Structures are given as structure tokens and as C-alpha cells.
Amino acid sequence: MKCFYVFLFFFYFSFNAFATHGQNAKITYKCIAANTYEISLEIYRDCNGINLGSSASVSYSATCTNGNISNSITLFRISEEDVTPLCSSQPSSCDNGSGPLGIEKHTYQGTLTLPYECSLVQLDYSLCCRANSITSISNPGTEELYTRTTFNASSSICNNSPDFGHDTVILTSVNSVNSIALDAQDLDGDTLTYELSNPLGTNGLPMSYLGGYDYLNPFGINNGNISIDNQSGLLCFESPSIEVTPVGITVREYRNGTEIASYQIEYYLQILGTTNEIPYIGSSINSCDDLDANFTQTSSSLVETSGNSLTITANDSFCFGLNFNDAVWNGNQPILSTTSNAEQVLNGATYTITNNNSDNLSAELCWTPTNTDAGDHFVTFSVFDEVACPIRYRRDYSYKITVNENTLGVNNIIENKISVWPNPVKNTLHISDYDTSIKYSIYNISGKKIISGENKDTINTSSLNPGFYFIKLESVDKVFTKKLIKI
């Protein structure tokens, strides 16, 4: 690791020049019944700026069967959380704390009930104003913070937005290579894509950058690279100079090849006047081209197809190991820790960590997928280092694991000899035209068994939340799996 220089002027300027408070925001939703949605709004604010209120207003417009409608709903705050990425020994400025830096995430929720079925709904939220410390746009203290979400609200879809697992305010060092993941997981099993886009500003119009900056060059033209993986959403950027800048990302959601929703997401990137190498898996990272799969394979059944893409056949088991590293800083060994979403997105997987919070950190992921798991799964691994405090530095890696269906040794029921209906289903699912003893199981999209039984013509599905499921039917030597939509 390079020598670590603390430039007090830059450090305190970065943290104390916030005259306003808005850092970024995003809107998500959950379908709870036909034409009824739980709306969630997350706002990130600087704790050294103006506080947020206990409620927030989200406007909506919709194209519906009985004409166009527009209105607004009031959301009420359900939580506020200090998400400042500090070493565990460092205080923040939130809640009257003594630290120079503080970031809070405020979450608001409310219910949107549409008067009739709508094919397209647009949700908008704006806040005046952005943080004055932003260096890449004109007059940031007068520019609105603005976010937008659109989705198809047809009752046959009853869509839920992805869960964005990671916070979107990032603090890092100058002259470092960074990789950050949104950790977006779609519980309906839809496909997500990611692209860099212009952040929205006042009146929902594209935000105006200073000359020499744009959304593809948020650190300035010819001043550091930035890119995003279209499939995993892993953002990689090089930070050659001190900057505070928003980075816009459009997330698009597809079902059966048709776009059904889009989300305007922003990162708030703050590049500090410090020099520190970011922790990594395997080998040191010198550019965004170095973010390949750095793992130690302990099973021969897993195939690396390209970069961070891996393939395995259902019913085969695999394990792979991860060795985490960082260099010595100022004579001190790194203090490394790791987290992963693997056990949440891979049904039945184990993520075993050895020597957490040490300079000898490793982990092992093991999984045996089944045919129910066939498809693509995006797994995120995060590594943190607390040696160069006050900032707790982080790097994310994203792996795409594709499970291919295993058809060997399975005598499948012919679909035209068994009926599962209606699909989509509301309260009662019917099974007919089978001529032998049969067991049934219903799994959510993460592979968790929700309902099971045997030899029934009807299944009560009223307790299921709207979304995607799989129903698995089994006889003595035959298996049939079908995707199920609950509305």
C-alpha cells in the first residue's frame, strides 16, 4: 500500500462544506393486491445539513383503462439509520455526534391505491436541494435532488421492484480503483439491466454538469474511467482527483423480454484527499480490467466461462474459496472483514468465513443447486478494511452463477397429461388429470419451500404474497416443475 497522507484541509472541507443535505434518493414498491402498492422512499442526507421531516410527498401519474390520472401520496418515515462508512472506533456527526462526517438513510412508506387498472405508473420525488460540496455541477445548492420510478401496474403482472441491498453513498481515496455493487435482487425472477445515465435535477430534467464533465465522465473528461456491468450492475471507477459527484444509473426490469419497469438510481461519490489502497480478493487491483474471478476452486464441477461468469449443472455440488488481502498501512496490518448475499440468493448455500476482522481473512462458498434453481444468479462479495481510519474502505465483487437444468435420470411427466390452473392464481390452485399418487411443493423465487402436501385437487394459495413461485409435482419416479404467478 502507498503511504497514507491526511490532508486536513481537504478532509475537513469535504465534510463541513455541506450547506444543504440531499445526497441521493430512490423509490421502490411492492404489490400487495390488485391495483394496490406499498411505496417506499429512501433518502440519504448529510448529518451536518438540514434535517428531514417526518413525512414526504411522492407524486404519481398513470395511464389507465379509464383515462390518465395524476396525484400525490404522503409517505411517513418508518426508520432513520446512521450508514456512515466509518471504522467501528470512529464517531459520526449524526444524532449530535462528535465526528466530522455523518450520513443518514431515512425510509418512508405509504400505500398507493389506483382507482382502476393502469398499464403505466410513474412515481416522482424531488428535494431542494443538493449538497453544495458537489464539484461536478453548476450551483448544486440550487439544483433539486430528483428520482423517478416507472412500472407496469397491470393486475396480471402485480410486479414488485428489486431489493437494492447496498447503500449508495460511497467515500473513498484519491488515486484508487473502486468496485461497488447495488446488490439488486428481484424476487419475481425478472431480468435486470444497468446503464450509466444522466442524473435528474430540477423539474425532473437532466442535471446540468460543469464544462468538461458529463454523466459518462463524472470526474471530468480524460480524468478517470467509470463503467458499469450491464448484467450484474457492478460499478467500477478510478478516482484520480478529489471530487464530490453524483453518478446516475438506470436499472431496467424485463419479464419475458418485455420491459416492465425502470428505476433512476444515483450514487453519491466522495473522493477524499487521502491515499489508500482498497482491499481486494486474490490479486491487487490496478484497473477496472483486473476484476476477474479471483477464487480458489475446490470442486471440479464449476466452470468459469468468462470473467466473473460461472456455470454449473443442477444437482452437482461445488465449493470455491476466497482469499482477501490488503497491504500494510503505516506499519499496521489490515483489519479485514467480509459479507455476502450468497446465502440469501442461493437456496441452501453456505458462506463460511474464517478469521474475520483479521489480516488473514478467507471464506468458502458451497452450494448444491437443483432444477428449481435453473437460471442466472448474481452473488455479491464485499470486503472491508479498517486499518486506514476513519473511513472503513470497501470493495465489492459480483459473480454470475448460471445453473443449467439437469435432465439426466429424470422421467418427466408429460405436461399435456396434467393440468395446473388457473395461472396466474389468486386464492385456489387446481390440479387435475393425474392418475397416480402425487406430492406437491410450492417454492418462492429464492427456493424456499412455502406450501407442501399430497393427493389434493385444490391448493389454498390465499396466504401467498403476490409474485413468482414454482410448483413442483412428484410421483414415485416422475417430476414436473412449473412457474406460478400469484396475484
CB distance 54 to 43 below 8 Å: no
pLDDT beyond 80 at 481: no
In this prediction, residues 231-253 reach a mean pLDDT of 93
Q: CA-to-CA distance for 117 and 139, rounded, in angstroms?
A: 42
Mean pLDDT within 477-482: 68
Of 42-46, 82-86, 154-158, 353-357, minimum mean pLDDT range: 154-158
Average pLDDT over residues 230-242: 91
User: Distance between CA 297 and CA 302 in Å, rounded?
Assistant: 8
Q: Which of 454 and 42 is assigned the larger pLDDT?
A: 42
Query: CA dist 80 to 108, 171, 199, Å?
Result: 9, 20, 24
Helices and strands in the chain: count of H runs, count of E runs: 2, 34
- Of the pLDDT bands very low, low, confident and very high (cuts 50, 70, 90), residue 7 is very low
Lowest mean pLDDT among 57-61, 179-183, 456-460: 456-460
C-alpha cell belonging to residue 322: 476466497
* pTM confidence score: 0.81
Domains observed in the chain: 8-276 (2.60.40.60), 279-408 (2.60.40.10), 411-486 (2.60.40.3080)
**3-state per-residue secondary structure call for 22-83:** EEEEEEEEEEEECCEEEEEEEEEEECCCCCCCCEEEEEEEEEECCEEEEEEEEEEEEEEEEC
Q: Binning pLDDT at 50, 70 and 90, where does residue 132 land?
A: confident
Three-class DSSP category at 288: helix
Question: Angle at CA 487, nearest 5°, toward 478 and 474?
Answer: 10
Residue 5 is which amino acid?
Answer: Y
The total number of residues shown for the chain amounts to: 487
Residue 421 pLDDT greater than 70, yes or no: yes
pLDDT tens digits for 13-28?
333 333 357 899 999 9
Higher pLDDT, 50 or 207: 207
Best mean pLDDT range from 53-62, 319-328, 414-423: 53-62
Residue 306: exposed, middle, or buried by beta-carbon count in 10 A (0-12, 13-18, 19+)?
exposed
| Tens digits of residue pLDDT in 373-403 | 888 899 999 999 998 888 999 999 998 999 9
